[in-house]
Every structure is written in structure tokens, then in C-alpha cells.
């Protein structure tokens, strides 16, 4: 068994696609139409294009429990997921220069440095650097 697709709930797939590709640097791998205006959109890391895919899941628009859970995590300031980076400081600097808003600036906890930003699609995302 292996991980192939991980989903992240988004309120607007087009906005999420722009944010995750243009600002974060992920690469679109799949973009197929589904029922209604929904799409099966997956992204991959530019450094691991054959690795796990990130699905931009429109669930909060169609499944109230998902929306409630997503809202609850945001209200509590809890990240939906995390992405590893080589340097939290460098990513923080790069992302703040292009307008990404951070709720937690680079901080150290035990053996990691981390920061948390708003993906503008209903989620906080944590970036982590192993020290």
C-alpha cells in the first residue's frame, strides 16, 4: 500500500489552483471535469513529479460536515496539513513578498522550524523545516 493522492478541501477550485501553482510553485498534473462545475484537479511538487498528488477537493461546497470541520480548524488556527521545505525562513521571505499572509511567523519547536499561512481557500497550511 502507498499514498498516491491526498486531498485538501477548497472553497474555490480555480482560486486554489492559482494559489497553489502561481504562489506555492506546485505543478498541475490532472484537471478533468466532473459533475456540475467541479473538477478533478491534482498537483504535484516540482521536486517530486512522480510523488503523491494533492487533490483540490471541492467538498466544502457540497458536504456540510466538511465545511464545518474546515471552519472549525480555521477558527482554532489549526493547519489542515503541512509541507516540508528546505528553509522556512527563505519560504517565509519569498511568500510574504508575494502577498501570502502568515498567522505564525517562523518559530522553533523542538527539532523543527515552522510557520503557518492562509491558503485563501479556507485552510491554514504549515511549512516545516527539520533542524
CATH number of the domain that residue 35 is part of: 3.10.180.10
Tell me the per-residue pLDDT of 36-68, one tens digit each, with 9 for 90 and over. 889 999 999 999 999 999 999 998 888 999 999
What is the pTM (predicted TM-score) of this model?
A: 0.94
Show Cβ contacts of residue 33 under 8 Å, excluding neighbours closer than 6 positions.
Answer: 39, 40
Q: Above 90 in pLDDT, residue 82?
A: yes
Non-local (6+) Cβ contacts of 90 within 8 A are none
DSSP 80: S
| DSSP codes of every residue in 7-31 | EEE-S-HHHHHHIIIIIT--EEEEE
Backbone angles phi, psi at 95, to 5 degrees: -70, -40
Alpha-carbon gap, residue 14 to 18, rounded angstroms: 6
d(CA 58, CA 125): 17
pLDDT of residue 86: 97
Number of domains in the chain: 1
| Full domain range(s) for residue 62 | 5-130
Cell of 48: 517530486
pLDDT in tens, 5-42: 999 999 999 999 999 999 999 999 999 999 888 999 99
Amino acid at each position: 500500500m502507498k499514498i498516491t493522492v491526498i486531498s485538501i478541501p477548497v472553497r474555490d477550485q480555480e482560486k486554489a489552483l492559482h494559489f497553489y501553482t502561481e504562489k506555492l510553485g506546485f505543478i498541475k498534473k490532472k484537471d478533468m471535469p466532473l459533475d456540475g462545475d467541479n473538477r478533478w484537479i491534482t498537483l504535484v511538487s516540482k521536486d517530486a513529479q512522480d510523488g503523491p498528488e494533492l487533490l483540490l477537493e471541492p467538498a466544502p461546497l457540497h458536504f456540510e460536515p466538511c465545511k464545518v470541520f474546515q471552519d472549525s480548524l480555521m477558527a482554532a488556527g489549526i493547519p489542515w496539513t503541512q509541507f516540508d521545505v528546505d528553509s522556512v525562513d527563505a519560504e517565509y521571505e519569498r511568500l510574504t513578498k508575494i502577498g501570502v499572509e502568515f498567522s505564525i511567523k517562523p518559530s522553533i519547536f523542538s527539532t523543527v522550524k515552522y510557520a503557518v499561512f492562509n491558503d485563501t481557500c479556507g485552510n491554514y497550511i504549515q511549512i516545516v523545516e527539520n533542524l
